[in-house]
Amino acid sequence: MEKIILTDEKIKSDLLPQKFGRRGMIWTAILIAFCAVGLFAYIRQLQNGLIVTGMRDYASWGIYISNFVFFVAISLVGSLITAVLRLTGVHWSTPLTRIAEIIAVSAITFASLIIIVDMGRPERFYNLFLYGRLQSPIIWDVTVIITYFVISIFLLYLPLLPDIQILLGRKENKGLHKLYKFLGSFWKGTHMQFRISEKAISILCVAIIPVAFSIHTVTSWLFATTYRPGWDSTNFGAYFISGAFLVGSGAVVVAMYVFRKCYKLENYITDMHFDKMGRIVVMLALLYMYFNVNEYLTPVFKMKKSEEAFLNGLFIGDFAPIFWSAIFGGMIIPIIILLFKKGRKPLPMFVAGIMIVVGAWFKRFLIVTPTLLHPFLPMHNVPENYKHYFPTWEEWAIALGSLAGALLIITIFARIFPIIPIQETLIEEHEKAQHHK
């Protein structure tokens, strides 16, 4: 294979943020349209109350909460790619760090927003700070999510500073120079600054791992601290974490494919990267499957009376089509695809990534709602529609709007900043060149 020589100048011009093309414009317009419809639906919800949703007293949590769990899950990948791989001395993941980190930041942003959307009294959000009680898992969640958000922002921002300096030195993107100056004009690239930044990143990489574990473990405890069938599980923390790493990695694979295609980054996100990510995804999927077996098959073996209706609902009842689609589509088929070397090529990886992400979204729905529809006491003395749950158009619009919003943040970020770290790529290339000499 012909080796393309990457000069500094070529790297810089390849990786600079580019103006939206026709497709980029259409894509952005679609995302904005989805956000606008979601916003309109939310205004309706504010005016009329949560009655506009399909939620009622039994299914008192619906797709807002499952969407929240999905966002928190996907955000964990930031810590995996940036911190875990960095601390274990893996270098090939450098071009993927920023993709993972922006996914983390946008996902955690919308996780926070969607939880406010779910509140009956969003205008009282400040009560959490005025009257917050430490024994409530919600307060733990608020605390760790804010911490995770702050660390993630820094892990996105610090490695960006040298790139901002590069951007400021170019003629392209003149219109954005004001923003670049505001964000990074203090960065002169001195030896001292690099040292401080390196040190800060190392500390943050260590700090973010326990915080990442905490955010998703605590999110799982929102369920596991209750008595309900399907939630009353000691397996939940590990089960959630493994699922989170899987869906996050799936999302990174999808983003890798899309960015590579749209920005012509074949020299930077190579087949090697897909192959390695593919191996990671298989490992994570197998791990998640292991926890799924623990989560579902041990209760099935016992078939406790209180869990029977719930488990039957998942395995052969109303929720069975979604359940089996999520298990096969979101786990087993991707594992089979990625076990083969040919399956770890970009396109099949992209397909597997999409399956994992979509499967994971529905899996979160299956974790939240079926349990609520199987209470201990009969569902009685309530209107008929309380006994089922199907989201209304407002809920779909808001949930899709939040997903579109997260994608919009990523899209706009990639328009303003280089999605592959330029400075780090330069360093890597120089090191490679040194090795060859």
Partner 1 sequence: MNTNNTSRKEFLASLVVSGLALAGCSSKGNPFDTGGTDIKPTGEKVKLLSVDGEVIEVDKAFLKPVPEMPAVSNNEARKGIPGKKFVMVIDLSRCKNLRKCQEACNHMHHIHTDLNWLKVYPMEEGEHTAPYWQPTTCMHCDHPPCVKVCPVDATFKRQDGIVLIDADRCVGCRFCMAACPYSIRVFNWEKSDMVTPELAAQPYSCESSMPQKVGTVGKCDFCPDMARKGELPHCVSACPNGTFFFGDINEDSVTNGAETFRFSDLVKDKAGYQLMDDLGTKPSVYYLPPASRNFPFEKGLENEKGKS
Q: Where are the alpha helices (H) located in 158-270, listed in sequence order?
A: 160-168, 177-184, 191-224, 236-263
Is 139 a binding residue for partner 1 by CB under 8 A? The answer is yes
Q: How many CA atoms lie within 13 A of 149 on its CB side?
A: 16
Tell me which stretch binds partner 1 (CB under 8 A): 53-61, 337-345, 393-401, 414-422: 53-61
Q: Answer whether 62's CB lies under 8 Å from 54's CB.
A: yes
Q: How far is the CB of 211 from partner 1 (least distance, A)?
A: 20
Draw the binding track, 403-432, toward partner 1 (x: CB under 8 A; -: no contact): ------------------------------
Q: How far is the CB of 69 from partner 1 (least distance, A)?
A: 13
| AA letter at 108 | I
Q: Answer whether 252's CB lies under 8 Å from 77's CB.
A: yes
Is 58 a binding residue for partner 1 by CB under 8 A? The answer is yes
Is 227 a binding residue for partner 1 by CB under 8 A? The answer is yes
Q: How far is the CB of 115 from partner 1 (least distance, A)?
A: 8
Is 191 a binding residue for partner 1 by CB under 8 A? The answer is no
- Whole-angstrom distance, CA of residue 319 vs CA of residue 323: 6
Is 375 a binding residue for partner 1 by CB under 8 A? The answer is yes
Span 238-277, contacts to partner 1 by CB under 8 A = none
Q: How far is the CB of 238 from partner 1 (least distance, A)?
A: 21
Is 13 a binding residue for partner 1 by CB under 8 A? The answer is no
Among 185, 202, 226, 298, binds partner 1 (CB under 8 A): 226
Q: How far is the CB of 58 from partner 1 (least distance, A)?
A: 7
- Whole-angstrom distance, CA of residue 367 vs CA of residue 179: 42
| Residues touching partner 1, count (CB under 8 A) | 47
Is 56 a binding residue for partner 1 by CB under 8 A? The answer is yes
**Based on CB atoms, which residue is closest to partner 1, 120 or 175?**
120
- Whole-angstrom distance, CA of residue 380 vs CA of residue 387: 9
Span 112-131, contacts to partner 1 by CB under 8 A = 118-122, 124-125, 127-128, 130-131
Separation of first and last alpha carbons in the chain: 20
- Whole-angstrom distance, CA of residue 119 vs CA of residue 115: 7
Six-digit token pair at 308? Answer: 């029977």
Q: How far is the CB of 52 from partner 1 (least distance, A)?
A: 9
Cβ atoms within 10 Å of 185's Cβ, excluding its own: 12
Is 4 a binding residue for partner 1 by CB under 8 A? The answer is no
* Residue among 358, 372, 90 at smallest CA distance from 222: 372
Tell me which stretch binds partner 1 (CB under 8 A): 7-15, 94-102, 165-173, 220-228: 220-228
DSSP string, 412-429: HHHHHS-SS-HHHHHHHH
Q: How far is the CB of 353 from partner 1 (least distance, A)?
A: 32
Among 16, 39, 84, 138, binds partner 1 (CB under 8 A): 138
- Whole-angstrom distance, CA of residue 377 vs CA of residue 354: 39
- Whole-angstrom distance, CA of residue 241 vs CA of residue 244: 5
Q: What is the largest CA-CA distance in the chain?
A: 81
Is 48 a binding residue for partner 1 by CB under 8 A? The answer is yes
Is 390 a binding residue for partner 1 by CB under 8 A? The answer is no
- Whole-angstrom distance, CA of residue 366 vs CA of residue 304: 19
- Whole-angstrom distance, CA of residue 373 vs CA of residue 309: 10
Among 51, 196, 300, 347, binds partner 1 (CB under 8 A): 51
Angle made by CA atoms 158, 159, 160, in degrees to the nearest 5: 85
Among 222, 241, 265, 337, binds partner 1 (CB under 8 A): 222
Q: Answer whether 273's CB lies under 8 Å from 95's CB.
A: yes
Tell me which stretch binds partner 1 (CB under 8 A): 221-229, 260-268, 315-323, 329-337: 221-229
Residues near partner 1 (CB under 8 A) are 48-51, 53, 55-58, 60-61, 118-122, 124-125, 127-128, 130-133, 135-139, 142, 222-223, 225-228, 372, 375-378, 380-384, 386
